[in-house]
């Protein structure tokens, strides 16, 4: 059974074309062993009928706050108390705005205010709406209120546009929900009304220019990050790649947004949801990633090369599937070296501040230091991928940071970030990087 087995999940469906996917989502949640009840807004019923969801869940679907039969027993409060998790999918720009500002003008928004459940939402809207400053601010505000965003995805949209804003496919929503529970079993939901947030009288006043729910540490900075593996085609069905999951790069993107930065994430093929507030560019090969990096580099302040870029690619990609040669038992591939993306960015006439990554299996300091000098980087984060419980595919990681010593630029200084969850590690890395960035700025 999955982590969702026995969980009580209230599925909220709002008025987006992606509502048709919610039927599949309800079925998958049931298949995972969850108890599922559905609340639909009035607009959602224009896209999918309550009867469909009732048949899939085996439970009556609630659609109205002013239902005399249900409200005889204060039905919306009963639902709010019943739910362990609230998942709104699709979550339109409108529902995000209303939730962010505490509206309670229909059943779904009312029970979200009345619940202590853990709350999740899967954004679904036109790419221009997703990138609008109001939506970005609402997503940050929702994060500060304890809401967990699942998605959105990028790609073709029903309106004909291409970009971020698509609702994730139901299978990925279920996987992301399980992953969120695994990574943070105490993920907060709505705050109980009798438990106001603690106040620290010694804490500095918030920056009024910072987005809601963020620190202002990286405010005003545009941070570009590469993440995940690249795939180098052999023929139409095969490719060369590596074990990178992209989690460290995505954790950096999420942490950078939370610290107030504008973030562009250039991602190889991974099965991870785009962090809220992040602009994502999807690529496949190293040459694709280089092209995206060269478009972004002139406009960013920091460039973080966290991707596990393939060192080599095929000299010639076969137009047809290569057949097994039974009489030889061997296949020779002619490989050529891929360009070094972060070294290319660092070699620009006016380069951004550059932070590289080095995944090593031995002699960490020697190899990391060599890469930093050879590529002209400002800092490099090195990790031993053979260490147990960290590295590729793991939830945790540990890093040693290397940069030139302030006392003697010919020597390297180091700073150890011990093992912790990748999201916490990402924030610690960015805070240290900010100190180094500030140290090299003219005074």
| 11: CB partners within 8 A, 6+ apart | 22, 25, 26, 29, 36, 37, 38, 39, 53, 87, 88, 89
For residue 321, count CB atoms less than 10 angstroms from its CB and return exposed for 0-12, middle for 13-18, buried for 19 or more. exposed
What's the CA gap between 424 and 443, in Å, rounded? 31
- CA–CA dist 182, 179 (Å, integer): 5
Q: Under a CB-based contact definition with an 8 Å cutoff, are residues 426 and 248 in contact?
A: yes
Residue showing tokens 């496919």: 169
Write out the two tokens for 56. Answer: 């899939």
Does the annotation flag 281 for ligand binding? Answer: no
Catalytic residue, from 112, 119, 159, 300: name it.
Answer: 159
**For position 213, what pLDDT does the model report?**
40
Looking at residue 181, its pLDDT comes to 65
311 is in an annotated binding site: yes
CA distance 407 to 183: 40
Structural domains of the chain in order of their starting residue, each with its CATH number: 8-183 (3.40.50.1950), 222-320+331-440 (3.40.50.10300)
Q: pLDDT tens digits, residue range 79-113?
A: 889 999 999 999 999 999 999 999 998 999 999 99
> Phi then psi for 389, rounded to 5 degrees?
80, 5
pTM as predicted = 0.55
306 among annotated binding-site residues: yes
Measured CA to CA, the distance from residue 442 to residue 289 in angstroms comes to 32
Residue whose entry in the numeric block shows the structure tokens 């009345």: 114
The answer to whether 340 is annotated as binding is yes
Residue 31, annotated as binding a ligand? no
195 is in an annotated binding site: no
User: What values do phi and psi take at 373, rounded to 5?
Assistant: -70, -45
Instruction: Please state the three-class secondary structure of 258-309 as a single string.
Output: HCCCEEEEEECCCCCCCCCCEEEEECCCHHHHHHHHHHHHHHCCEEEECCEC
pLDDT digit string (tens) for the chain, length 443 residues = 577 888 999 999 999 999 999 999 999 999 999 999 999 999 999 999 999 999 999 999 999 876 655 544 445 688 889 999 999 999 999 999 999 999 998 999 999 999 988 899 999 998 888 888 888 888 888 888 888 888 787 777 777 777 778 898 999 899 878 866 654 444 434 333 333 333 333 333 333 333 334 457 898 999 999 999 999 999 999 999 988 889 999 999 999 998 999 999 999 999 888 888 899 999 999 999 999 999 999 999 999 999 999 999 999 999 888 887 766 677 889 999 999 999 999 999 999 999 999 988 788 888 899 999 999 999 999 988 777 666 666 778 889 999 999 888 888 999 999 888 888 899 999 999 999 998 776 54
pLDDT at 75: 58
Angle at 54 between CA 50 and CA 56, to 5 degrees: 120
CB 268 within 8 A of CB 227: yes
112 is catalytic: no
Peptide bond before 180: cis, by omega within 30 degrees of 0? Answer: no
- Residue 160: per-residue pLDDT: 77
User: Cα angle vertex 420, ends 414, 424, to 5°?
Assistant: 90
> Which pLDDT score is estimated for 349?
92
Distance CA 240, CA 285 (A): 10
| Per-residue model confidence (pLDDT) at position 326 | 66
Single out the residue of 219, 247, 252, 307 nearest to residue 427, CA to CA: 252
Residue 225 labelled as part of a binding site: no
Tokens 């989690």 belong to 247
156 assigned ligand-binding residue: no
d(CA 27, CA 20): 12
Return the pLDDT at 12.
Answer: 96
């Amino acid at each position: 059974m999955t982590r969702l087995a026995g969980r009580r999940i209230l599925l909220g469906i709002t008025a987006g074309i992606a509502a048709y996917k919610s039927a599949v989502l309800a079925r998958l949640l049931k298949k995972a062993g969850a108890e599922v009840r559905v609340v639909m807004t009035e607009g959602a019923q224009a896209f999918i009928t309550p009867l469909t969801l009732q048949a899939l869940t085996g439970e009556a679907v609630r659609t109205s706050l002013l239902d005399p039969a249900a409200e005889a027993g204060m039905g919306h409060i009963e639902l709010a108390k019943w739910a362990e998790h609230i998942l709104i999918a699709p979550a339109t720009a409108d529902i995000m705005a209303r939730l962010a500002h505490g509206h309670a003008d229909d059943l779904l928004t009312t029970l979200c205010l009345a619940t202590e459940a853990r709350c999740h939402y899967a954004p679904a809207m036109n790419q221009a709406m997703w990138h609008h400053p109001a939506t970005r601010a609402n997503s940050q505000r929702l994060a500060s209120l304890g809401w967990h965003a699942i998605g959105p995805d990028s790609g073709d949209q029903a309106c004909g546009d291409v970009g971020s804003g698509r609702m994730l496919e139901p299978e990925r929503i279920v996987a992301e929900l399980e992953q969120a529970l695994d990574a943070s079993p105490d993920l907060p939901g709505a705050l109980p009304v009798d438990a106001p947030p603690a106040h620290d009288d010694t804490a500095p006043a918030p920056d009024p220019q910072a987005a809601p729910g963020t620190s202002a540490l990286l405010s005003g900075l545009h941070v570009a990050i590469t993440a995940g593996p690249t795939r180098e085609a052999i023929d139409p069905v095969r490719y060369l790649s590596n074990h990178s999951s992209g989690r460290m790069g995505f954790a950096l993107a999420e942490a950078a947004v939370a610290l107030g930065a504008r973030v562009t994430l250039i991602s190889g093929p991974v099965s991870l949801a785009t962090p809220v507030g992040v602009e994502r560019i999807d690529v496949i090969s190293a040459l694709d990633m280089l092209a995206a990096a060269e478009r972004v580099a002139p406009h960013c302040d920091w460039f973080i090369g966290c991707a596990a870029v393939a060192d080599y690619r095929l000299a010639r990609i076969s137009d047809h599937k290569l057949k097994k040669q039974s009489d030889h038992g061997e296949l020779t591939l002619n490989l050529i070296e891929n360009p070094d993306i972060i070294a290319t960015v660092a070699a620009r006439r006016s380069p951004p501040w550059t932070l590289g990554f080095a995944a090593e299996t031995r002699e960490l300091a020697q190899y990391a230091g060599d890469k930093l000098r050879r590529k002209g980087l400002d800092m490099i984060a090195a990790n031993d991928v053979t260490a147990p419980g960290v590295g590729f595919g793991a939830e945790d990681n540990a890093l040693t940071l290397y940069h030139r010593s302030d006392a003697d630029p010919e020597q390297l200084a180091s700073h150890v970030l011990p093992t912790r969850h990748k999201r916490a590690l990402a924030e610690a890395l960015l805070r240290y990087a900010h100190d180094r960035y500030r140290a090299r700025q003219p005074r």
